[in-house]
Structure 1
Amino acid sequence: MSKVYPDVGSALADVVEDGQTVAVGGFGLCGIPEMLIHGLRDSKVANLTVISNNAGVDGVGLGLLLESRQVRKMVSSYVGENAEFERQLLAGELEVELTPQGTLAEKLRAGGAGIPAFYTRTGVGTLVAEGKEEREIDGARYLLERSLTADVALVKAWKADRAGNLVYRKTARNFNPVVATAGRVTVAEVEELVETGDLDPDHIHTPGVFVQRIVVNPAPTKHIEQRTVREA
């Protein structure tokens, strides 16, 4: 059965549902599966728990899902430049679980590897530690952090072959590889699609066994989260 779908609507049609947990790749606006996020918004599914490094910005990326009020809870490492995120958070309309960035990455990696939990020193003695098991190992205190998995994972890659093997480009690699492994169903948005066997095996970042669906976006928008210019 082909993993390649002709458009976003068909790729998500029988995958996304109300109340699901959705993990989304990207860092800021770099490497976000923008077309898939638009498709998720257009699907009108609601009451979602979204796992992502951040919530995008107003009007772009996951900011669209916040504006349409499809997100019930965010599991994230920082707020970012998103006024709607802050507004809903302060109004008590959005549940937010803030997690240290490295811990978030390891939670997803561990989830994809079938590891239910792990110990880390990050967050010991802070608000992050509240309600979590602590253990002393070799004279140091560690927190027990539970891993993360998702019903659906949405990722952005540069290239894919028809078997679903993915190659990311430069910094767009960021959270995408760990998100791809953590999803029960992983949908990849790619810029280039090649035939199976055309990719050098040594260059593949995510093996196709983790990817169930592919949709091609040959001309993605290259957004800049915060433009800084030198004064004249």
Structure 2
Amino acid sequence: MAFAFSASAQETETQQDTTKTGYSLGRIELPRPNSIVASYEYDPILDRYVYRETLGNFNISAPLILTPEEYEELVMQEEMKNYFQQKIDALSGRKEGSEEEQKDLLPGFYVNSDFFQNIFGGGEIELIPQGSVALDLGILYSKRDNPAFSPRNRRTFTFDFDQRIQLSLLGNIGERLRVTANYDTESTFDFQNQLKLEYTPTEDDIIRKIEVGNI
């Protein structure tokens, strides 16, 4: 006499409730206290950089060991973060000295070329913009009860867009070329929008000054 048994296991899928409950208040980041000191130390034996955060004589976190390549990349990221944070603070105007920093929102450029430096007396390019931009956006609605038009064409919606730009730019290329530009969309005459290039050679040159544009 033989008996045969068959057993089958059925897997049941359990559905997980993905409905979020509660409220998310986000993250609150507090400024770092001045008592916490972050520093990098170079270990010449291991050829590694060690990052530490200390409070007095105590380490408040585990040291971070970096290779020279990782150290250079991390320092570059921190410098870029601090640079853009300074520009954001200057635009917001909420910190002391922001008005002076607003004059230097654009970074300076440097051209590493002997030919460029011989012509302009230096390789630095500096641009200082000032002004304002205002935008007006509205909607115009019109309705005409004219039987000659279809009901759809009796009502029209159009956007009313207007912009006002007042911009002045002062640029220095090296020590010899100076660029001055003024632009205003509400100016009455075209000659009020000025562009002037002023090139001042050295004292040893025969030409004393060259001016191009609105003089």
TM-score bucket of the superposed structures, by smaller chain: under 0.3
The structure where strand makes up a greater share of residues is: 2
For normalisation by structure 2, the TM-score amounts to 0.20
Q: Which structure ranks higher in relative contact order (CA pairs < 8 Å, sequence separation ≥ 6)?
A: 1
The structure where helix makes up a greater share of residues is: 1
